[in-house]
Amino acid sequence: MLPHLDDAWRLARWLARVDHDAEDVLQEAMLRAYRYYDVGGRDNVRAWLLAIVRNTFYTLRTEGPVASLVDEFDEDVHATNDANSPEHQMLRDADAQQVRAAIERLPVAFREVLVLRELQGFSYKEIVEITGLKTGTVMSRLARARERLARDLGVGAEGGSHHAMQ
């Protein structure tokens, strides 16, 4: 599992957002992984390890459970816009720092599926395996994550910041 240490770190960092917390998550997750490594055959060690990272994150963090976060964010995001709108232009111009900031503003339930898919390249099936969510839930969270991201990047960093306050 050590070849996947970098992936584990990235996920821990995207989830925790603070390096110090991410280090604790990674440390704890690797210890857990080593304890259970011998148990049972698994064909996707990378997905298995990231599942442990994710679970460790939710165990260690002191905030409430994920479920409470999700339902609050079901709002209209399908504002109509035309193809040459300033919003589309901002999307075309978005740089890595803006993308990072926008991803970090996503609620964690959306952030995790987006990061697993977009930054770590997992298939839907693997994301189901890692998160234990249903395929339909993965798809809808991914859709909402991207809708929020597109909107957030589309209105620029200043306009986007207040989404985090919702």
Partner 1 sequence: MQCSDSRLLIHAYLDNELGAGDSVRLNRHIADCADCARELERQSLLQDALRRARPTLATSDALPGALRARILASLPLSESTSAAMAPLALRPRPSLHRRQPLTFAIAASALLLLGGGFGVAWERHASTVSATEGNAMIAEVVSDHVRSLQPQHLTDVLTSDQHTVKPWFDGKLDFSPQVRDLDAAGFVLVGGRLDVLHGRRVAAIVYRRRLHPINLFQFVAAGPNTTPTSNDAGDGYTTTSWTQDGIAYWAVSTLDRGEMETFAGAFRTSPSLSVPR
- Residues in contact with partner 1 by CB under 8 A are 1-3, 5-6, 9-10, 13-14, 23-24, 26-28, 30-32, 34-35, 37-38, 60, 78, 80-83, 87-88, 91-92, 94-96, 99-100, 117-119, 123-124, 139-140, 142-143, 146-147, 149-150, 153-154
Smallest gap from Cβ 9 to partner 1, in A, equals: 4
The smaller minimum CB distance to partner 1, of residues 25 and 107, is found at: 25
Smallest gap from Cβ 6 to partner 1, in A, equals: 5
Q: What type of residue sits at position 76?
A: D
DSSP structural state of residue 92:
H
The smaller minimum CB distance to partner 1, of residues 28 and 161, is found at: 28
Smallest gap from Cβ 104 to partner 1, in A, equals: 11
The smaller minimum CB distance to partner 1, of residues 21 and 69, is found at: 21
Element (H, E) at 147: helix 135-154
CA dist 71 → 68, 109, 121 (Å): 6, 10, 26
Smallest gap from Cβ 95 to partner 1, in A, equals: 7
The smaller minimum CB distance to partner 1, of residues 66 and 139, is found at: 139
CB 110 within 8 A of CB 164: no
What backbone phi and psi angles, to 5 degrees, belong to 44?
-120, 90
Smallest gap from Cβ 28 to partner 1, in A, equals: 7
CB 24 within 8 A of CB 59: no
Contacts by 93-101, CB closer than 8 A, 24 or more apart: 94/153, 98/153, 98/157, 99/153, 101/157, 101/160
